[in-house]
Amino acid sequence: MSRSREFFQAMRDMLPLLVGAMPFGIIYGTLAASAGWSAAQAMGMSLLVFAGSAQFIALSLLSGGAGMAVLLLTTLVVNLRHALYSATLQPFVRHLPARWRLPLAFWLTDEAFAVVQQRYAEPDSAAYKHWYFFGAALAMYLNWQLCTLIGVLFGQTVPNLAAWGLDFAMLATFIGVVVPMLRNWPQVAAALLAGAVALVCHGLPYKLGLLAAAVSGIAIGLYLERRQGLQVVEEVV
């Protein structure tokens, strides 16, 4: 596919995830404004940090009177899962110059990762898959800024957005991405165990349950794969 086709295909593929993220962006903007942040500060956080969970947690910790060290440490822990995404996608972006790798890393979110890793896992040897990455990442970024702005400006007047359950669009997309990936027993076991650990550890703060779940899933998948001597084809990410 050409550069522009990769780019716009990614934007289309991101659509359900954009819809799913909308309530969160708007609610974040609303909360920041009602916490007394200026519009520039609320937008500055979305523009520069661009990490939904960390932004929410920072707002709530700040209102609880937490200090800078706690806030920064929390940001580190909450976003640690992104190091796994960075490692997973590194083999696919290592040939790119830094002017590509820098912005693509800055834009690496859960949503972009889900869609982009799927594109990289497709066996075709298209030369412009990084344009797909670019399109997906930029769509997520622009959507997040727009939603933050709507929340800051009109947050108080938007009717109960959370009640619509638009966040289900994210679950449906992630299911549509994950299930076809489960082609062998180690993959199935990794997903099942990760899901179970996430449920059991849901009480842990700062997304630590998610991190524990990911690590357990990877460990069991790796263990079963090695025990079976199973050859997983390299391009199946």
Partner 1 sequence: MSIWSLIIGMALITFAIRYSLFAFPHLGFPLIVRQGLHYVPGAVLAAIVLPGMFMPDGQHWQLSLDNAYLLAGVACILIAALTRHLLATIGGGLLMFFLLRWALGQLPI
Name residue, tokens 């909360």.
31
Name residue, tokens 């009109």.
154
Site string for partner 1, 139-158 (x = CB under 8 A): --------------------
Give me the least distance between CB of 76 and partner 1, in Å please: 5
| 70 contributes a contact to partner 1 by CB under 8 A | no
| 39 contributes a contact to partner 1 by CB under 8 A | no
Give me the least distance between CB of 26 and partner 1, in Å please: 15
Tell me which residues in 114-133 interact with partner 1 (CB under 8 A): 114, 117-118
DSSP symbols for 58-86: HHHHHHTT--HHHHHHHHHHHTTHHHHHH
Name residue, tokens 């993959």.
187
Whole-number Å distance between alpha carbons of 142 and 144: 5
| 28 contributes a contact to partner 1 by CB under 8 A | no
Residues in the chain: 237
Task: Name which of 75 and 143 has its Cβ closer to partner 1.
Answer: 75
Q: Tell me the helices (H) and strands (E) count for the chain, helix number first.
A: 11, 0
SS3 176: helix
Give me the least distance between CB of 228 and partner 1, in Å please: 12
Q: What's the 3-state SS for 123-135?
A: CCCCCCHHHHHHH
Q: Out of 168, 185, 205, 228, point to the residue binding partner 1 (CB under 8 A).
A: 168
| 214 contributes a contact to partner 1 by CB under 8 A | yes
Using alpha carbons only, give the angle 55, 60, 62 rounded to the nearest 5 degrees.
90
Give me the least distance between CB of 125 and partner 1, in Å please: 19
Q: Out of 63, 83, 142, 205, point to the residue binding partner 1 (CB under 8 A).
A: 83
Task: Name which of 4 and 90 has its Cβ closer to partner 1.
Answer: 90
| 34 contributes a contact to partner 1 by CB under 8 A | no
| 48 contributes a contact to partner 1 by CB under 8 A | yes
SS3 20: helix
